[in-house]
């Protein structure tokens, strides 16, 4: 299983919680130890998005995918 496959699997674990709040998450790329995602829906304008990204998405990806150390989001 590739690192990208592992990241996609971990994002599927996160997705239901984000969707419950009217948002979604899409993988853009995996470059070395950095994952780039796009947050969609209500996540685009939510003031808590930085918290969700760092304390939620990044924490889970770091736990589930060895070598991932950073998650960044691009705007839609």
- By CB neighbour count within 10 A (0-12 exposed, 13-18 middle, 19+ buried), where does 10 fall? buried
pLDDT digits (tens, 9 = 90+) for 25-63: 999 999 999 999 999 988 878 888 888 888 889 999 999
Residues paired with residue 29 on neighbouring β-strands, in sequence order:
36
Q: Assign 23 to helix, strand or coil.
A: strand
pLDDT for the residue numbered 20: 92
Q: Which domain holds residue 44?
A: 3-74
Q: In this structure, what CATH number is given to the domain that contains residue 40?
A: 3.30.300.130
pLDDT for the residue numbered 36: 96
pTM: 0.89
Cα angle vertex 47, ends 56, 72, to 5°?
45
Contact predicate 72/25, CB 8 Å: no
Domains held by the chain: number: 1
pLDDT for the residue numbered 55: 86
């Amino acid at each position: 299983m590739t690192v990208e496959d592992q990241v996609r699997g971990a994002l599927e674990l996160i997705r239901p919680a984000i969707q419950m709040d009217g948002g979604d998450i899409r993988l853009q790329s995996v470059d070395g130890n950095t994952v780039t995602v796009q947050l969609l829906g209500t996540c685009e304008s939510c003031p808590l998005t930085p918290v969700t990204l760092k304390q939620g998405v990044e924490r889970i990806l770091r736990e589930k995918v060895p070598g991932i150390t950073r998650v960044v989001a691009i705007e839609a």
